[in-house]
Amino acid sequence: MKRTVSFSKDTRNVFLHILTACNLRCRHCYINPKQHGIRMLPAAEAIEWLRLLADSGANLVLLGGEPTLHPDLPEIIRAARSMGYGSITVDTNGYLFHNFLERSGPDDLDYLSFSLDGATAETNDAIRGQGAYDACVAGIRKAVAKGFHTSLIYTASRDNIHELSRMPPLLAALGVRRFFIQVIGIRGKSAGAGADLQLTRNQWEQMVPPVAAAAAEMGIIVTYPKVFLAENEPFECAGLLADNYFIFPNGRVYRCPLCEDYPMHGMRIRDGGLVRREGITENGLFSLQIPEGCVINKLVQPDNLSYRPDGAPEYRIACCMLKETVQPKPESKPGSKPEPGPTATAAEIAGT
Ligand code: SF4
Ligand code: SF4
């Protein structure tokens, strides 16, 4: 059962980077310390910022850097829960510092989301660093044994697309309940590699939907970005139609993650308030209409476009936050109903 997750102004999604430091040095890391600083947000400030954005039922993703390097992460999670955030997810590389699994419980979080970029240590560690595969798999096993709901993000690129089809059985064996296949973004470290990492339209369409269907057959909910719009599909910009906030510890607040390598943030947190920035920012780009679809995609990662001899684009690129979700059929998990796929939650939008 596949569906496109539509944008809604009624669902707020908050992505709070509580620090930018990390123990890993992944090849495709999108964190850009020149733009986002090297600060760890003190717990009191993180909680104050969460209060600014708390909205009944808002979805929250806490991320970094590696968020479990923050010694006060469990307190920040509990504060967010008490403010009424509807769902809370932590994105982790799996090292789970500061005894995170002992200091938090399955009831504190909706999902603990792990990042793995290969079905084998050979492929994953070539991207994420020596030992990252074993640490992540051990972290998943421990979290599942403690009763946490787990999900997994796989950032698909030319470096690892050959192992994508091996992921569903691995996830089923580990007890992971949701699978996010993410497209590599040309941001941060990836910006130097450009077209060498991005998948072509054919690669994406031939590899990703069949793997998603196979995972759903195994009882796993799968979410992946649409990337390429069909001719009859409307183009929509989440910057205009959704209520998303990508927040960095230096106070920058973006509405569009594709802008994060540039000082184009549309808002910032200053003096305890969330303020809209005037001047040249992402806000001025969201309403521009171009034949290629997303205008910021054309500006920052034009290598994923191609043109006909008459100069017209061969296809339009969807908003990077437009996702497809594939739900397992009810009968694929005997005795259980499919887990409700929340509409356009932060977890569905996120994934790095
Ligand atoms: S991608 Fe994530 S785990 Fe890898 S270096 Fe960047 S922040 Fe760390
Ligand atoms: S990715 Fe493109 S379409 Fe989506 S919010 Fe950014 S500018 Fe808008």
236 found inside a domain: yes
* Closest ligand to Cα 18: 1
What's the pLDDT score for residue 337?
A: 47
Q: Which two tokens stand for residue 109?
A: 């979080």
How far does the centroid of ligand 1 lie from the alpha carbon of residue 57, in Å?
A: 28
Q: Which residue has a Cα nearest atom 7 of ligand 2?
A: 296
Quick check: 320 pLDDT over 90?
Answer: yes
What's the pLDDT score for residue 84?
A: 93
Please choose from 264, 267, 296, 298 the residue to mutate so as to test ligand 2's pocket, defined by most ligand atoms within 8 A of CB: 296
How far does the centroid of ligand 2 lie from the alpha carbon of residue 187, in Å?
A: 14
What's the pLDDT score for residue 210?
A: 97
232 found inside a domain: yes
Which tens digit of pLDDT belongs to each residue from 230-244? 999 999 999 999 999
Which tens digit of pLDDT belongs to each residue from 17-46? 999 999 999 999 989 999 999 999 999 999
Rounded to an integer, the average pLDDT of 218-234 is: 95
Nearest in space to 168 (alpha carbons), one of 142, 207, 198, 131: 207
Ligand 2 atom at shortest distance from the alpha carbon of 255: 5
311 found inside a domain: no
Q: Which residue has a Cα nearest atom 4 of ligand 1?
A: 26
> Which CATH number do you get for residue 214?
3.20.20.70
Q: Which residue has the higher pLDDT, 328 or 333?
A: 328
Instruction: Note down the domain range covering 127.
Output: 2-289+319-349
Q: Which residue has a Cα nearest atom 3 of ligand 1?
A: 93
The proportion of the chain whose per-residue pLDDT surpasses 90, expressed as a percent, equals: 82
- Cβ 219 vs Cβ 231: under 8 Å: no
Q: What is the sign of the dihedral through the CA atoms of 33, 344, 301 and 294?
A: negative
**Is residue 160 helix, strand or coil?**
coil
How far does the centroid of ligand 1 lie from the alpha carbon of residue 176, in Å?
A: 20
H or E segment to which residue 29 belongs: none
Quick check: 325 pLDDT over 90?
Answer: yes
Q: Which residue has the higher pLDDT, 76 or 334?
A: 76
Out of 54-63, 256-265, 299-308, 330-339, least confident range: 330-339
The proportion of the chain whose per-residue pLDDT surpasses 70, expressed as a percent, equals: 91
* Residue 331 pLDDT level (bands cut at 50, 70, 90): low
- Cβ 225 vs Cβ 199: under 8 Å: no
Q: Quote the DSSP letter at residue 226.
A: -
Which tens digit of pLDDT belongs to each residue from 176-207? 999 999 988 766 666 665 557 888 889 999 99
What's the pLDDT score for residue 315?
A: 93
What's the pLDDT score for residue 186?
A: 65
303 found inside a domain: no
- Number of domains into which the chain is organized: 1
What's the pLDDT score for residue 266?
A: 98
Burial string for 250-271 (b: 16+ CB within 10 Å, else e) reads bbbbbbbbbbbbbebbbbbbee
How far does the centroid of ligand 2 lie from the alpha carbon of residue 75, in Å?
A: 33
Angle at 109 between CA 343 and CA 184, to 5 degrees: 60
Ligand 2 atom at shortest distance from the alpha carbon of 321: 4
Mean pLDDT of the chain: 91
What's the pLDDT score for residue 301?
A: 86
Ligand 2 and 53: CB distance under 6 A: no
What's the pLDDT score for residue 350?
A: 56
* pTM for this prediction: 0.92
How far does the centroid of ligand 1 lie from the alpha carbon of residue 352, in Å?
A: 8
Please choose from 22, 113, 182, 190 the residue to mutate so as to test ligand 1's pocket, defined by most ligand atoms within 8 A of CB: 22
Rounded to an integer, the average pLDDT of 287-314 is: 93
Please choose from 8, 9, 319 the residue to mutate so as to test ligand 2's pocket, defined by most ligand atoms within 8 A of CB: 319
Ligand 1 atom at shortest distance from the alpha carbon of 24: 5
167 found inside a domain: yes
Rounded to an integer, the average pLDDT of 12-21 is: 97
193 found inside a domain: yes
313 found inside a domain: no
184 found inside a domain: yes
